[in-house]
A and B are shown apart, each in its own frame.
Chain A
Amino acid sequence: MSDTIVKIQVTDGTVTDFKDKNLLNAWRLSFLGAILCMAYLVFFHPDPYMRVLKFIPDGLWVTFKVTFMSITGALILGLVTGLGRISRNRFINLVASTYVEVVRGIPLLVQLFYIYYALGRFLRVPDLLSAVIAMSVCYGAYMGEVFRAGIESIDKGQTEAARSLGFNRAQTMFLVILPQAWRTILPPVGNEFIALLKDTSLVSILAVSDVLRRGREFASETFFYFETYTLIALIYLVITLLLSRVVSLMEERLSHYER
C-alpha cells in the first residue's frame, strides 16, 4: 500500500484555487476577460448589445431571488435530510433515504415540470415559488448526503464528551458536532451553490422570467440570437465567478481554528 492518498474531487463548480498568489490565475483571467469582453461589446457595438443589457436586469433580479431562496430551502432540507439519514429511528431513516433515492433518480428538469404543474394544478402556487420549491427539493437531497458525510466525519469522542457533560442529543448536535462538521461541509456545499445558480437557468422554461428567459424574449422579438446569448453567457460567467469567490472567502473565515 502506498502512503500517499490521492484525492480526486470532481465538481460541478469552479475549481479555482484562491491561494494561488500569481497575478494571473484562472479566476482573474476568466473574470477580467468576461468583464472586458462585455465592456467592449457594449461600448463599441451598443446596438444591439446595449439594448440587450438594458433588457436583462429584471431577469437578473429574478435569478438572484430564485438562487438565494433555493439555497436557503436546500440548506434547511439538506440539514433535515442529513439528520434523518443518521437517525436511529428506522422510520425517519427510511423516509430520508427514500427521498434522496427518488430525487436523485429524476432529472431536475422533469422535477421542475412536475412540481410546477402539480402545484399549479392543485394549489395555485405562484410560478416563482414553485420553481424555488422544485430547486430546493432537488438540491436538498444532494446536500443531505453532504451533511450526513460531514456529521459522520466528526470523531465519536466529541459526542461522548458532550453527552457526558450533560448535553442532550440536540444540544450535542447543534453546539458541538455541526459547528465542526460545517468546515467539512462548506466546500462541497459551496460547489452545490454554484451548480444551483447555473441550474436556475432551467426555470426559464417555466413562466419565470430569469436572465435566460428575458434573453429569449428579447431575441425572439429582435432576432439578435447570437448577440443575446453571447451576453447572457458572459453574465452567467461573471455571477458564477463572484459566487465562487464568496464561498472561498467563507471557507477562509472558518479556518480560524485547527482540528
Chain B
Amino acid sequence: MSAEPIIRTPIIRMEGVSKFFGDLKALDNVSLEVFPGQRVVIIGPSGSGKSTLLRAINRLETVNQGTVVVDGFDIRSKHTDINAVRMELGMVFQSFNLFPHKTVLQNLTMAPTRLKKVPKAEAEERAMALLAKVDIQEKAQVYPAKLSGGQRQRVAIARALAMNPKIMLFDEPTSALDPEMIGEVLDVMVNLAREGMTMVVVTHEMGFAREVADLMVFMDEGKIIETGTPDEFFNHAKHPRLQKFLDQIL
C-alpha cells in the first residue's frame, strides 16, 4: 500500500510545529500530513516527542509555533470550536481512562447521547454493536474495575468509535498491558485499519506497524528524523539513529 499518485487533501496537516516545556523542545519544527484512510505509525525512543505530537492534533497539548489543521479547522485558532473538532477525533490512551463510575455500556453511550443528542435506545443499540465488534458484549453491564487491562482497552476503543470519528488517535495503546493481552487489542486495531479508518498510532509494536502502516514516522529529540513505508524502514533504514533504534528493539 504505497502512496497513490492521486492529488488528495490531507485531513491532518501540521506545519512547522514547535512546543516547549520550559527549555526543553518537545516538538522542534515538525511537519506532517495525514491523508484520509491513511495509517500512520509513529515510533521513536521515549521522550522523543511522539506522544506530544499526537496530543497536539486534538489540542490536549497546545503548541507554541506552527500550524495544525484538522479536517479543515485551524486547531490553534480561537474561533475554532475545539469540542466539535474533537468529536471527529477518537483518542485511545495508554492508561485506558474509562469512566469508573459508569458501566461499560454507559461509557459508550454517554458522549453520543449528550453531545450528538442521539436517542438513548439508538445509542445503546450502536454501543452493543461496537462492543460485539471488539468482542466484549457480554460485559456491557459491568463496571470497568471488573475488566482486565486488555478488555478495558478494547472498551476504550469502542468508546472512541461510538462518536463515529473520522480519525482515530492511539497513544501507546498496548504499553500498559500484560504481554498476553496485547494481541487482543492489536487484533481490534488491525480490523479497524482494514475497514479503512484513518489512524495515527504511537506504538512500540513493530509487528503491528509492519502489518498496517502506510507511512512510518521516526522521531527523536522532538524532530521527525525519517519517514517512509514499513519496507523502507525495516529493510533499508537510511538514518543511523533509526538503524540504531530498530537494532535495539527488534
Residues of A participating in the B interface, judged by any CB pair closer than 8 Å: 155, 157-158, 160-168, 171, 175-176, 179-180, 257-259
Contacts of A162 in B (CB 8 A): 99
Expressed in whole angstroms, the Cα–Cα distance for A167 and B116 within the complex equals: 11
Q: In the complex the two chains form, what is the Cα distance from A126 to B110 in whole Å?
A: 45
Are B143 and A258 in contact, CB atoms less than 8 angstroms apart?
yes
CB-CB < 8 A to B159: which residues of A? 165
What's the least CB distance linking A162 to chain B, in Å?
8
Residues of chain B at interface, number, CB under 8 A: 26
Find out whether the CB atom of A257 lies under 8 angstroms from the CB atom of B114.
no
Q: Which of B95, B146, B160 contacts A165 (CB 8 A)?
A: B160
A173 to chain B, nearest CB (A): 13
Q: A164-B60, A166-B84 are in contact. Are A259 and B100 (CB under 8 A)?
A: yes
**Quick one: given A171-B114, A257-B143, are A164 and B100 in contact (CB under 8 Å)?**
no
Contacts of B84 in A (CB 8 A): 166
A180→B97 CA distance, assembly (Å): 13
Q: How far is the CA of A165 from the CA of B3 in the complex (A)?
A: 30
Chain A CB within 8 A of B48 CB: no
**Chain A residues with Cβ under 8 A from B93's Cβ?**
157, 160-161
- Once the chains bind, are B87 and A165 in contact (CB under 8 Å)? yes
- Known interface pairs A259-B100, A259-B145; A164-B58 also in contact (CB < 8 Å): yes
How many Å lie between the Cα of A258 and that of B146 in the bound state?
8
B100 touches A166 (CB 8 A): no
Residues of chain A within 8 A (CB-CB) of B80 are none
Query: Which listed residue, A155, A163, A166, touches B60 by the CB 8 Å rule?
Result: A163
Judge if B91 is at the interface, Cβ distance under 8 Å.
yes
Residues A165 and B86 in contact, CB atoms below 8 Å apart:
yes
Interface string of B148-177 (1 = CB under 8 A from A): 000000000001100100000000000000
Give me the 10 closest cross-chain CB pairs, A-B, nearest first. A258-B145, A161-B97, A166-B87, A164-B91, A157-B97, A165-B111, A257-B143, A166-B86, A166-B83, A179-B101
